[in-house]
Amino acid sequence: SARDTVTIHSVGGTITILPTKTKPKKLLFLGSDGKSYPYLFKGLEDLHLDERIMQFLSIVNTMFATINRQETPRFHARHYSVTPLGTRSGLIQWVDGATPLFGLYKRWQQREAALQAQKVG
């Protein structure tokens, strides 16, 4: 309902530029509910696919709901807000404590390379 809608009251005064290729910016919105909402502004990227993936994960959670009533462990895919602002930029909800999938993949690659080096050496 309209009374439950949170609007942007203000934008934080500090912006953090992350040290990656596209230099995304982490910023903070202060909501009309008094809570802080951290977001990542990404330029030079089309976030429409990311938005679709988050919609898919939401559907997966709906499917898991039936399974979760019957089984343990309970499954839940963490999804977050993705808001494309155009074809070349958008906002992604910042999730503290999350591990990027690419980081997991990179560590797996490094372990595999180390195992291969041990086999050869």
Q: What is the pLDDT of residues 28-84, one digit of tens each?
A: 999 999 999 999 999 988 899 989 999 998 998 888 887 767 777 677 788 889 999
**In Å, what is the CA distance from 59 to each residue of 27, 55, 115, 116?**
28, 6, 38, 39
For residue 12, the model assigns a pLDDT of: 95
- Domains of the chain and CATH, by start: 8-120 (3.30.1010.10)
Confidence of residue 15 (pLDDT cuts 50, 70, 90): very high
pTM above 0.85, yes or no: no
For the four alpha carbons of 29, 52, 84 and 96, in that order, the dihedral sign comes to: positive
Structure tokens at 52: 């679709």
Nearest to 26 by CA among 42, 9, 48: 42
DSSP E strand stretches across 32-86: 36-43, 82-84
Across the chain, what does the average pLDDT equal?
A: 89
